[in-house]
Amino acid sequence: MKRLLGTGILLSVFSLVSFSQTEYDPSEAGISVVQLTDKLYKLQCISGTYTNTIASVGEDGILLVDTGYPQTSSPLSDALHKLGDGNIRMVINTHEHSDHIGANAVFAQEAIIVSHERVRQAYRGQYFALPGIDRPGAPQVVFKDSLSLYFNGEEIRLQHYPGGHTLGDIVVHFTDSKVVFVGDMVFAGCFPSADITRGGDLNRCLENTGQIIRDYPTDALFVNGHGPDYRAEQLKAYLDVGTTTSRLIRNEIEKGQSMDDIIASDLLSSWKEWGEGVVSEREWVACVYRQHLKETHQQATSICQPLTEAIVTAGIEDALELYANLKVHHPEKYSFAEDELNTLGYRLIDRGRIGDATEIFKLNVAAYPESGNVYDSLAEAYMIQGDNALAIEYYQKSLEKDPSNSNAEAMLSKLGHKKN
């Protein structure tokens, strides 16, 4: 059931929007409220890790920046309705990752949702050749470069910083309050990162951070998507760490060192504490490594590109034949990574194509028979189809490969079975 995004990238931070249902433990979900100014509040959506959101509260009602995880939507809504008049009129999305827009559908019932145009595309699930689909919570107002809103007595400026962490990153500047919400363009207290597989660029991410330092007041409070707040001097130190360590990692890559070699060498020992936050040392090295592959044109094309084209134009049987052919004759040209097929399977589930998704998950089981996650995904497909016997079989297989898979345990319990 996990939606893997690739080696070295945390699911909670880099997961794309998924439309299928996921089982969450409600006891994990919570909200912490911190008042920043007389009308701005930071609400931390807590579910294992936490995601920061910001609410402007005043005579015009409530404006919310980001909606957090799906599982924290209820406590977040409850907390917001206790502020001011409780009227949530507007929501702004900073980028497309689901820990920031996962609860959009809940707030779309009472608020207008605003985002960069790229976020709407991602939310509607456009995936290579698979067209987007309508679903509740998609942004209704989009912009390309910049947009100003006037709400609760101040101008709120939305500015797009292209192609860094994601393709649709924006900064939300509360001008009078001197609060700048930077989303995940900054990971305070840990290494930076960019979703390179989905179009992000690490160089641009660091450049954007430098531009943000220049664009906003030196006495502004910078609120990010997951960590503590920064002032300008701290933001400069963060940029210096990202720039310095990425250069060191690149030097080792150019010497022919592998990712594991670099990590084992203690190259980043002077920045150990920076790897203890949302982005670990391994994840940071992997991000720099992926950027290197991108720049040197060694980044393989996702197998999902030709597969989605075949599914749309010819059907799943032709897609399966194409997969087998490309894997034999062009293994170097395409990425057959576990997360590629896993993501495609869930995109098909989102469109109600459960049978097609099942066939894709079967390919992943054949390719990665030692991964507990591939059996978990296949089990979910069978459970959706009502084939509980096969669902139980593959959830149990998932637990054999990964005894820590709490989702498989929960699903077996739901199906009336305990793990073997």
Whether residue 342 sits in one domain with residue 282: no
Distance of alpha carbon 195 from alpha carbon 132, whole angstroms: 20
Cβ atoms of residues 113 and 93 within 8 Å? yes
Whether residue 47 sits in one domain with residue 110: yes
Distance of alpha carbon 142 from alpha carbon 243, whole angstroms: 32
Whether residue 169 sits in one domain with residue 120: yes
The answer to whether residue 3 is domain-embedded is no
Question: Is residue 382 helix, strand or coil?
Answer: helix
Residue ranges in the chain modelled with pLDDT below 50: 1-26
Rg, Å, the chain Cα set: 22
Alpha helices (runs of H) in 83-177, residue ranges in sequence order = 98-101, 104-107, 117-123
The answer to whether residue 60 is domain-embedded is yes
The answer to whether residue 17 is domain-embedded is yes
Question: Is residue 76 helix, strand or coil?
Answer: helix
Distance of alpha carbon 242 from alpha carbon 244, whole angstroms: 6
Distances (CA, A) of 381 to 20, 128, 349, 384, 385: 10, 22, 8, 5, 6
Name the residue with tokens 């985002």: 115
Last-in-domain residue among 261, 278, 295: 295
Alpha helices (runs of H) in 132-254, residue ranges in sequence order = 202-215, 232-254
Cβ atoms of residues 308 and 130 within 8 Å? yes
Distance of alpha carbon 48 from alpha carbon 350, whole angstroms: 25
Q: How many CB atoms lie within 10 A of CB 265?
A: 11
Distance of alpha carbon 206 from alpha carbon 203, whole angstroms: 5
Q: What is the pLDDT of residues 85-109, one digit of tens each?
A: 999 999 999 999 989 999 999 999 9
User: What confidence score (pLDDT) does residue 125 get?
Assistant: 85
**The domain spanning residue 106 has which CATH number?**
3.60.15.10
The answer to whether residue 401 is domain-embedded is yes
User: What confidence score (pLDDT) does residue 419 get?
Assistant: 52
Whether residue 203 sits in one domain with residue 62: yes
User: What confidence score (pLDDT) does residue 337 get?
Assistant: 86
Amino acid at 226: H
Q: Name residues whose C-beta falls within 8 Å of residue 103's C-beta, 6 or more positions apart in sequence.
A: 67, 68, 69, 70, 72, 73, 76, 137
> Structurally, how many domains does the chain consist of?
3
Last-in-domain residue among 201, 219, 240: 240
Whether residue 327 sits in one domain with residue 267: no
User: What confidence score (pLDDT) does residue 8 get?
Assistant: 32
Whether residue 335 sits in one domain with residue 261: no
Closest CA to 182 of 223, 231, 227: 223
Distance of alpha carbon 264 from alpha carbon 296, whole angstroms: 24
**The domain spanning residue 399 has which CATH number?**
1.25.40.10
Distances (CA, A) of 335 to 305, 326, 331: 10, 10, 8
Whether residue 309 sits in one domain with residue 289: no
Whether residue 146 sits in one domain with residue 253: no
* Residue 269 tokens, joined: 């020992």
Whether residue 108 sits in one domain with residue 212: yes
Whether residue 189 sits in one domain with residue 92: yes
User: What confidence score (pLDDT) does residue 213 get?
Assistant: 97
The answer to whether residue 6 is domain-embedded is no
User: What confidence score (pLDDT) does residue 168 get?
Assistant: 96
Distance of alpha carbon 413 from alpha carbon 286, whole angstroms: 36
Last-in-domain residue among 206, 240, 274: 240
Whether residue 351 sits in one domain with residue 374: yes
DSSP 262-304: HHHTTTTGGGGGGGGSSS-HHHHHHHHHHHHHHHTT-PPEETH
Distance of alpha carbon 99 from alpha carbon 68, whole angstroms: 5
221 - beta bridge partners? 179
User: What confidence score (pLDDT) does residue 80 get?
Assistant: 96
The answer to whether residue 2 is domain-embedded is no
The answer to whether residue 1 is domain-embedded is no
The answer to whether residue 97 is domain-embedded is yes
Give the helix/strand (H/E) hosting 56.
Answer: strand 49-58
User: Which residues form the domain of 251?
Assistant: 245-295
Whether residue 210 sits in one domain with residue 149: yes
DSSP for residue 192:
-
Check residue 152 and give left, alpha or beta (phi > 0: left; psi -120 to 50: alpha).
left
